[in-house]
Structure 1
Amino acid sequence: MKRTRAALVLAALLLIPSTVGADGYSSIVDNGRIKISLSYPAEVKIGSCFPLVLQTTFLGSVSVQRLRLTVVYVSEAGSTTLLNDVIISSLTSFSPGNVVSKTYSVCVPSAVRRDPLVSAVVFVNYSRGMVFEPLTHEWMLAVVRDRTYPELLNELANAERSLSSLRRAVEELQSQVSSLRSRLEDLLRENVRLSTSLEEARREYGRLEDRYEALSIDYKALNERYVNVLGDLRALQTLYESLLKENTGLNENYRSLLSDYRNLTREFTALQASFTQLQVLYNSLSDRHDGARQQIGYLQSELEAARASLRDIQLQYAVLTGENSLHRNLAYAQAFVLVVVATGMASVFVSRRIRKNRPHFQALPPPPPPPPEKTP
């Protein structure tokens, strides 16, 4: 085994930022015999601690005299050693595959910022007698800053006033936020309502579109019908004009007929007077007719009695057939009877003829009223 003396000094110079980030990893390999890796966070907070892992892997047979890890904190005020650990302090042999690992917890100090100072140094070399005595003295004159203390006090007062104003503004904004939240809730509810109304309106719009299509079809049909009706209207207008002309002629005929009606009314009045006279005559004839009927009834009874007498005479004639005188008397009797029968039958015939030919008089109706006069 070949022995190699190696003194390894690991110095980690950490510039510490203010936040913790992802983990970091770094490694080195020397001559293919030894591999040293370091696991650490990439960022560390000021005033906090962080883990640090050192792992040494031996790839060949080596001898190590010293292994030391040093962690240094570097800032604008200078450098500070955070860790100085000697892991191997004496000569030690290792075989391939051996691993030396160690975990540390390293803490970072809090940052202390120092302001620049103005100082004055005086040197004097004086003597009392033959021996010189040097004297050196340093005065700290002033602290150098970007802003003086009165300016800082003024800025602090302004900041406090701004802070009060900002607090009032924050309170107002919080009140506005509460109001806006309630308004937002109202608007969300209104949005839900409007969304529902929008859906209903969309459905109604679809129905209205269908209705519009149907109405468009009806409109086209009605438009065609309107054109046809317009043609019919023109024909009716022509017919109206011709009827108006006919109406003019009919008005003239009406006036002529009205004049004729008045003449006929006068004639009707005269006829009605004649009817009254005829009615009186009819009543007189009716009375006479009733008397004639009574006489005809009396003659009919006499005729029946004569017929009975005729039958008796015929019987007597049959008995007295042989006697001439009886025949002669019978002939006289038959002649008399025939005369009576002829007279009765003539009266009956006359009465029936009178009854058949008797007119049935009725009261004449009043004349119709004249039609209303039309103004041309």
Structure 2
Amino acid sequence: MNGRKMIRFMGLIAVLAALISAASASGYSQVENDLEFRVDYPIEVEVGSCITISFWMKASQNLTDLVVNLAVYYHQNSEVETLYSEVIVSVDQADIGWTKSKSIRICVPREEPVDPHLRAKLEFRYKVDGVDRELDHEWYMSVVRDETYGELESEVASLRDRVSELKDEVEELEDELEAKTEELESLQEEYQSLLAEHSALETSYQQLKEDYDDLEKEYQELKEDYSSLQDSYSSLSESHQSTLIELERLKTSYETLSRQYESLEEQYRSLLRDYESTLSELRAYKAIYSDLKSRHEDLRARHDDLIAEAASLRQRIADLEEEYSSLNRVYQATLGESSLTKNVLLAQTAAVATGLGIYAFLSRRIGRRERSGSVAEEGNSERKVQKILSGRRITIPSDIASKLGLKKGDEIEIDYADGMIIVKPVKEEPSEGKKEAESKQERGGGDSSES
């Protein structure tokens, strides 16, 4: 970053040096077929100072009735002021090679305009071989400034001092680079250490490879042992015959178990029928739930629309209040006017008051709807209404069943007291057949507990 700053300052110094060299140059020269002239002047002028303009010319032809007029104009704030306009040369005859020089002193005004400058104009009128000729030359001559290039040179000197400071910073960076070089050498030494460790690991790898060859030999020996085990397999085949006899006995036991399985399967079918009936009821409840959910979403959308309408009405009432205040001020200002103007203002005020009343009415109505919606939601979260299915069964919601510790297939006790149905779980160990039916029912994918 410091290197970039130094390069930037050096570039700025080069640009300023170029500007200073351009500022030291001055003058305007022109060579025509009939004559040659030159005007020397400073291209930079301080406000309120005086300058000297040097004029020189040379005749390239025989000229007669030569008249040269010089005019200098001062431009400031889009205005033009003539500082000098006079005839500087007037001769009847000018032969080839004739020369003329003259110095003119001009002073610049002391006021401080915006971007002032000087414009010069030369007019030549003469005759060549009795023919009248005129030459006009007009050019941008000088810039009028508060700060000259000498002051800029002092700024360049300060910038050069800054360059010296940047050189010192470069030396500091070189010292830092040397420290980084030493750190790099340290890292190279560490690399050599790691390289030696790598060689040690290669030696260990060779040792492990030799161990692998030894294990390969042991594998061949185990393969030979496997061949001997195959021979012993033949002897085991003879014992297989005795195993077949045992298999026959197990088949008999299997038939007994199959009969027990058929009995359990019949029980399972009975439970499956109950499950299918319960599933149909569940589908009905799901349809009811979907309908209630769609109605709830519709009410929610209407509730959001009413809230948006309330916000719009609040903004409208704010606008009406502001309009009411404005009308009231106008009304106060026009108390002394005609009764017709007063009636118009009263009518506008009544319209604003009517708008305020409509907003208040709608706000109370929306508030009552919001409160009724919130009360309904709280009631639904505390109590769930159930429907009697087939005249003998009700569905216990899953959250209440989890609180009671009920699972599918558990027994419950139902009692009646004080106009309420009381459901109590019965803690008994289920039989083995019921456990198997319960596991098959769980694989069937029931979703709720029933009694």
Asked whether the two chains share a fold, i.e. TM above 0.5, the reply is no
TM-score normalized by the length of structure 1: 0.26
Structure with bigger helix share is 2
